[in-house]
Structure 1
Amino acid sequence: MHRFLKVFLVAGSLLAACAPPVLAQPQTRVPGSEAEIRLTFAPLVKRVAPAVVNIYTRRVERVAQTSPLMNDPFFRQFFGNLSPQGQPRERIARSLGSGVIIEPDGVIVTNNHVIDGATEIVVALADRREFEAKVVAADPHVDLAVLRIDTKGEKLPHLEFRDSDDIEVGDLVVAIGDPFGVGQTVTQGIISGLGRTGIGDLDAQSYIQTDAAINPGNSGGALVTMDGKLAGINSAIFTKSGGSIGIGFAIPANLVSSTVASALAGKGIKRPWFGAQGETVTFELARSLGLDRPGGVLINAVYRGGPADRAGLKAGDVVLTVDGREVNDPRALKFRISTRRLGETVKLDVIREGRHFDLTVALVEAPETPPRDLTQLQGNQPLAGATVGNLSPAFAEEIGTDTLDRGVIIVKVADGSPADRLNIQPGDRLVKVNGKTIEAVSGLQKLLASADRWSLVLKRGSQQYTLNVRL
């Protein structure tokens, strides 16, 4: 950062006397002690680096064999438009990432994308010892996974969590990981930004941005503050070349901490459920709501009987802060809720019709009501081959759809089935069959079985479409 000092010279003693005092130029000096001459991050790195590990994974992939002859136009003229793909074969795919030991008995946290689909996970410590790791729990919606290795009672170096809400832009940090498989690497930088959202398509986002170099292989590694604590898990970079250009992102330690606590409780990763959804308050919305500036989340739907509803939150309210921390879009609001633990409460600063007030929301686990009742549909009807289920807040959260949605959702579609031929896709929600609203799987099966032609209304994302079918 450069500081520019403008000095204006004004003639006349009176004007000079009235002028504000001129700031003294900062004095430069050479280092005055051996400690200043040898200013280094080495003591910090020696203390924290042993807690950062390398993670090697392997998984079996099925890929189609391709004949190089089919890429030649001369041969393709004899075979027409036949696919150049042959019979699928299996191959072993290997990947490399990083992880952080956060408990001395061998609990490790990393990114979910580092271990996703792996059939074998090997953790290599800083002293080159290797251990087979098992997945305790993983959450693809926030890209975190918790692993465990058997240390036979040995206590390993580990990092403590920093309160990531206390981190400020400009704080010094170091990033530790294994980029490109070259070996453990340390880079240094500052916190460039906080609360970054819109990075990828994960659910709960409020990334820490840093200019410490992060490259492929750094995923799952540590972002460490100068007190030797874990500020976040390095997860993503913004790049046009595939390498670091000084814009990296880390998942904040508070979200990592709540994820680990839930995973170690033994019931998978369970997050608090808020029970409301909203939209970003834009300039136009702020003006229509009588707000002096854009900010907050405009609530547009509240789940009846959910935590937000019981606390008194209503559609049309604007949530400005959660526990004193600003939320400027729905992902930031979800992040703030996700950093809390089941059974805790959060305090909301809310505006309703121009009036400020506080609401206290008790956070609970999303309920599975109604039961999901997973059913594969069969018979002579258009949805045969599709597996459907009843939506509940818990099931919706598990599959990554809107937790306020109700009704019946397509979970899976068998290849080559009637549903597949109609381009029915997982995630489609059934709205109506032959003009009747679908509320449960049981009612759906009866409607499908009692007709010989069908008018299906489905919702895919924000789009609704109709299929008229006769078999």
Structure 2
Amino acid sequence: MSATTARGLAGLALAAVLAAVSVPGAMATEKQPPQSRGEMALSFAPVVKRTAPAVVNIYTKKVVVRQAVSPMMNDPFFRRFFGDEFAGRMGMPQKRIQNSLGSGVIVRADGIILTNNHVIKDADQITVVLSDRREAEAKVVGVDERTDLAVLKLVEPLGNLPVLEFSDSDQLEVGDLVLAIGNPFGVGQTVTSGIVSALARTSVGISDFRSFIQTDAAINPGNSGGALVTAEGKLAGINTAIYSRDGGNVGIGFAIPANMVRTTLNGILETGKAVHPWLGASGQPVDQEVAASLGLDRPGGVLINHVVAGSPAARAGLQSGDVILSFNGKDLSDVQALRYLVASSESGRPARLGVLREGRLRDVEIVMVQAPENPSRDVTEVDGRTPLTGTRLANLNPALAEELGMDYQGPQVVLMAVNRNGFAAQLGFEPGDILVAINGTKVGSVKEAIGLLQGPPRSQWLVSVIRDGQVMNIRVG
């Protein structure tokens, strides 16, 4: 049976380039490069015709208010005769409309669209333009800043909406052909082609879950939120960023894998927010030195140094000192790879971990769940005359730790926010600091912290926090 017949008429032209060649009697098939000049001359057009209509252009508007500054305010002569108060009134607030553009992907026939969070962030108006030039307003259903994804829905559903089907992005291989579809520089819908250059890129600091598909398909400003499409015409990922020195394409683009996109979409549609599974264990990468001490022939995996009591990891029997080498058969290169695979899996479904313990390799089955909200967050603004005035405190629980991208080590108090103009910011406190003690008294909850801060007036304070694993003592007075 030929490759063209195996793929069917829908992918006739492109299938001859990519499809596995079936050999009678063979037990397995392998992907083959083009075998003839005729195969190399085949077209992407059938795949583009099927997928491009589901990729939309997104235009946003945001009203920006700024204080206009009159040139007279800088004139000492003017200030001398009219005074500073009158000069200040010369600077009247002005409004202007800030426009931006991006791309999106229709994933449900009822008008659900995926894009990047940074495309629609703070927008006052979102307009979606389809490839057939139909337009509609859209509203935000939910966003996930940690993955830089946003879910939109058309305010008034349009009929006959094309939909792009998800692929299993875990099945992608380096060298697979892909298409990038979007609206670069606002010139209109554009299709570029390339290959998967790399998988599981974890050193790209675009989002908290760093495991991106790298491609050399041309991606430019305006492509953000558009589709990276497989040769079979399915969604491989959402284009999100490029590596560039001048803002233009240099052949290094990144896409959020479809499996992560699907998990985020389902969570937002079901609960109104992104819901990612929770492992309940934290650790460190296995470098060359650690690998040698464990008897491993090469670096890789995650050395567990803390397991949360009652967590999925604890119920599965994981222990400190275990090394997780694989997740559902996929080798782990570092901690970020583990975080991605956990976050992109489905809650309630079992996963298999390859674990090294005391020199022996064993399989561990684990069922992950949504991170619990226990203890309650008890978010509290700090006011009055204290070193922490201008901060927002919260009890750190597993769910909040997941949202903040922090490892959960047990109940702690975290500085969720710090007013940049407040007293705490001037003293050097930062969001994400873990509050350890106030004046030598350990702090285990927001209630305890507020009790210590609202005590008798003091002329001297000593506040201890943990930042980047290091204890910092901040003295006042």
Distance (whole Å) between structure 2 residues aligned to residue 152 and residue 70 of structure 1:
52
Structure 2 residue aligned with 1:78: none
Asked whether 1:226 is paired with 2:216, we answer no
Query: Which of 433, 438, 458 is the matching residue for 2:438?
Result: 433
Asked whether 1:39 is paired with 2:46, we answer no
Contact 2:105 2:113 (C-alpha < 8 Å) held by counterparts = yes
Instruction: Structure 2 unaligned segments of length 5 or more: list them.
Output: 1-32, 76-90
Specify the code of the residue in structure 2 equivalent to 1:58: K
Deviations 1:163-197 (A, max 9, x none): 11111111111110000101100001111111111
Structure 2 residue aligned with 1:123: 128
Q: CA deviation at 1:27?
A: 13
Tell me the secondary structure at the aligned position of residue 271 of structure 2: coil
Within 5 Å, give how 1:307-318 maps onto structure 2: 307-318=312-323
Asked whether 1:54 is paired with 2:70, we answer no
Asked whether 1:267 is paired with 2:261, we answer no
Q: CA deviation at 1:381?
A: 2.3
Distance (whole Å) between structure 1 residues aligned to residue 371 and residue 292 of structure 2:
35
Distance (whole Å) between structure 1 residues aligned to residue 344 and residue 468 of structure 2:
27
Contact 1:105 1:151 (C-alpha < 8 Å) held by counterparts = no
Tell me the secondary structure at the aligned position of residue 181 of structure 2: strand
Distance (whole Å) between structure 2 residues aligned to residue 318 and residue 358 of structure 1:
12
Asked whether 1:105 is paired with 2:110, we answer yes
Specify the code of the residue in structure 2 equivalent to 1:467: I
Query: Which of 89, 92, 100 is the matching residue for 1:95?
Result: 100
Contact 1:394 1:403 (C-alpha < 8 Å) held by counterparts = no
Distance (whole Å) between structure 2 residues aligned to residue 188 and residue 93 of structure 1:
32
Q: CA deviation at 1:102?
A: 0.8
Aligned pairs, how many? 434
Residues 403/133 of structure 1: CA separation in 2 closer, same or farther (3 Å cut): farther
Contact 1:367 1:392 (C-alpha < 8 Å) held by counterparts = yes
Residues 280/377 of structure 1: CA separation in 2 closer, same or farther (3 Å cut): same
Q: Which moved more, 1:422-431 or 1:241-250?
A: 422-431
Asked whether 1:168 is paired with 2:145, we answer no
Q: CA deviation at 1:29?
A: 7.0
Distance (whole Å) between structure 1 residues aligned to residue 308 and residue 35 of structure 2:
62
Structure 2 residue aligned with 1:305: 310
Contact 1:275 1:404 (C-alpha < 8 Å) held by counterparts = no
Distance (whole Å) between structure 2 residues aligned to residue 291 and residue 68 of structure 1:
69
Question: Structure 2-normalised TM-score?
Answer: 0.84
Structure 2 residue aligned with 1:14: none
Structure 2 residue aligned with 1:412: 417
Distance (whole Å) between structure 1 residues aligned to residue 40 and residue 263 of structure 2:
41
Distance (whole Å) between structure 1 residues aligned to residue 124 and residue 180 of structure 2:
28
Structure 2 residue aligned with 1:461: 468
Deviations 1:382-421 (A, max 9, x none): 2233221111111222233333363112223345443344
Query: What's the % identity of the aligned pairs?
Result: 52
Structure 2 residue aligned with 1:242: 247
Structure 1 residue aligned with 2:371: 366
Runs of 4+ in 1 over 4 A off after TM superposition: 26-31, 62-72, 86-90
* CA RMSD, Structure 1 to Structure 2 (Å): 2.9
Structure 2 residue aligned with 1:352: 357
Contact 1:135 1:146 (C-alpha < 8 Å) held by counterparts = yes
Specify the code of the residue in structure 1 equivalent to 2:48: V
Contact 2:308 2:410 (C-alpha < 8 Å) held by counterparts = no
Contact 1:386 1:413 (C-alpha < 8 Å) held by counterparts = yes
Asked whether 1:140 is paired with 2:145, we answer yes
Distance (whole Å) between structure 2 residues aligned to residue 139 and residue 243 of structure 1:
27
Within 5 Å, give how 1:376-391 maps onto structure 2: 376-391=381-396
Deviations 1:405-450 (A, max 9, x none): 6311222334544334423332222111111111011111221222
Instruction: Structure 1 unaligned segments of length 5 or more: list them.
Output: 1-25, 73-85
Specify the code of the residue in structure 2 equivalent to 1:57: T
Q: CA deviation at 1:101?
A: 0.6
